[in-house]
A and B are shown apart, each in its own frame.
Chain A
Amino acid sequence: MSAILTVDRLTKTYAGGFTALDAVSLEIREGEILALLGPNGAGKTTLISAICGIVQPTSGRVTVGGHDTVTAYRSARALIGLVPQEINLEPFEKVINTVRFSRGLFGKPRDDAFLERILRQLSLWDKRDQPIRSLSGGMKRRVLIAKALSHEPRVLFLDEPTAGVDVELRRDMWEVVRQLKEDGVTIILTTHYLEEAEAMADRIGVITRGRILLVEDKDALMRRMGRKEMRIELKEPVTRVPQALEPFGLTLEGEGRRLVYAYDRQANRTGIVRLLTALQEAGLTVADVETKQSSLEEIFVGLVKEEVTP
């Protein structure tokens, strides 16, 4: 896939001297979903704002669809849709009017049939004539998405689209995002819900303290950095890990009823067979065995922790 958006050494230093973005470079491939993860204040929203023209970068260059966001800002911005983190909407305006306004603002002629399709897709069509202040929080978020999509962008930024949204609505929103991807929209998603990134993203980017730590294919990242654990339930509890099992680095949990063995799935020898043999030799009876892959959340926490305490 070719890159639809390139960020080259983008830096933002505020007047007070705080560097929110430190020479960030990034390539977004056409049609993908990239989840940008990072702790609070990592620079996720600043990065999006700098790309979209809301924040003026100190240095660096951004191109969207080959158009420079400074020298050819009209062509570049026309390709971008932005769903901000906060629910920023005109409370007294009707849904349809605010969506029409967004389309016009981005230079597109009125097309009620297209807007109807978007509003139906987002389950907003029945509410088109309602003032925004009468909608629920989840519906307001959908209005933000409808506004961002109203000018048919090729790149969509979703800045924490499911923050404060209940579980059911969050899953609905994921469905909307998947549908957009199917329609060929490139999506850059920031989120605090790592489960969300794990469920939807093709690639994961991790940003902290204004620097990109990594951008990698999600599955490859989870394979590379994810650890696997084998949990061995014992029939009879033990007070300590038997001496013969110490080389395996086991941890004892569940009031002495569970031994946990962490291993690298990609290693030539995982040590599982040796461990099971050693358990038998030590006279322990195994009641049950289960394995667990570490989640993206655990990988993310590990990465950010490493960065904070090098």
Chain B
Amino acid sequence: MNLTAVAAIYRFEMARTFRTLAQSVVSPVLSTSLYFVVFGTAIGSRIDEVEGVSYGAFIVPGLIMLTVLTQSISNASFGIYFPKFIGTVYELLSAPASFLEITAGYVLAAATKALAIGLIILGTAFFFVDLTILHPGWMIAFLVLTCLSFSLLGFIIGIWAKNFEQLQLVPLLVVTPLVFLGGAFYSVSMLPPAWQAISLFNPVVYLVSGFRWSFFGVADVAVGWSIMAIAGFLLACLVAIAWIFRTGWRLRA
């Protein structure tokens, strides 16, 4: 295994984060803080508790999930798309590194960035709301698994994209609506029964629900389903990436 290659890609990608600190870290933290101020403090103060949790605290896991999902996807998709765009991908394709090693380098870097941002946002939340975390171990596990699996999805999007518009297409038109409709700001149980049933087809519901359970012990779906959903998603992404590297789809002529 070429672990040196994994480390080289990881370091190179992390260096990009530090070069663009304002864009990579400050910007998502600032926009999420605005959500806390508007939805949590201003509007939330006039909303009753949800599932026995103050609304300000209730939206914290959803907000973290929203940022972590979008950051994982955008970091990983940009990470592999940029070498394609500027032509440096030749180096990756001609290196003595397997698909697993190249993917690991990019995905671990993207997941690290998303995880760091998620934790910073969590830290920021303590300034706005009273928050306790019932299952901190599970909270970290959900966060890490989400960062990894959505970084894998982002990596696939980066390979698929032929231009910058396509790069933004899935995050903006698919992921963001799924997160907003996935119970980030409400409990699925607050919806009419028909919409509750439809919501169960949204994979993000399982992520938000599991993550919220780790905070407050309340969930829209059983926590076991959440774990299985995220593990299944991770596996599907890995299979897709293995196929991409085997066939050279959108990478090799």
Q: Would you give the shortest CB distance from A229 to chain B, in whole angstroms?
A: 44
Q: How large is the interface on B (under 10, 10 to 19, 20 to 34, 35 or more residues)?
A: 20 to 34
Beyond the given A90-B86, A107-B4, please list 8 additional residue pairs across the A-B interface where CB-CB is below 8 A.
Answer: A54-B252, A74-B97, A100-B8, A104-B4, A104-B11, A105-B8, A105-B91, A109-B4
A145 at the interface (CB under 8 A from B): no
Closest B residue, CB atoms, query A109: B4
Contact B248 A73 (CB under 8 A): no
Q: Mark B123-148, 1 if CB is under 8 A from A, else 0.
A: 00000000000000000000000000
Which of A79-87, A198-206, A208-216 faces chain B?
Answer: A79-87
Segment 94-144 of A: residues with Cβ below 8 Å from B: 97, 100-109
Which residues on A sit within 8 Å (CB–CB) of B96? 73-78, 106-107
Chain A residues numbered 7-21 whose CB sits less than 8 Å from any CB in chain B: 14
Q: Are A86 and B253 in contact (CB under 8 A)?
A: no
CA of A86 to CA of B91, assembled, Å: 13
Chain A: which residue is nearest B19 at the CB level?
A92
Whether A56 sits at the interface, judged by CB under 8 Å, is yes
Selected from B8, B82, B93, B248, the residue in CB contact (under 8 A) with A101 is B8
Instruction: Kindly state the separation between the CA atoms of A64 and B83 in the bound complex, as whole angstroms.
Output: 26
Q: Is A295's CB within 8 Å of the partner chain B?
A: no
B181 at the interface (CB under 8 A from A): no
- Asked if B12 is an interface residue, CB under 8 A from chain A, the answer is yes
Residues of chain B lying within 8 A (CB to CB) of residue A91: 86
Per-residue contact bits, chain B 1-31, to A (CB 8 Å; 1 contact, 0 not): 0101101110110011001000000000000
Task: Give the distance in Å from the alpha carbon of A11 to the alpha carbon of B88 in the complex.
Answer: 25
Answer yes or no: B92 CB below 8 A from chain A CBs. yes
Chain A residues contacting B95 (CB-CB under 8 Å) are 77, 105-106
A158–B197 alpha-carbon span in the complex (Å): 61
* Chain A, residue nearest B6 (CB): A104
Our pick among A54, A73, A108 for the contact of B4 (Cβ within 8 Å) is A108
- Whether the Cβ atoms of A105 and B97 lie closer than 8 Å is yes
How close is B42's CB to chain A, nearest CB, in angstroms?
39
Residue of chain A at shortest CB distance from B87: A88
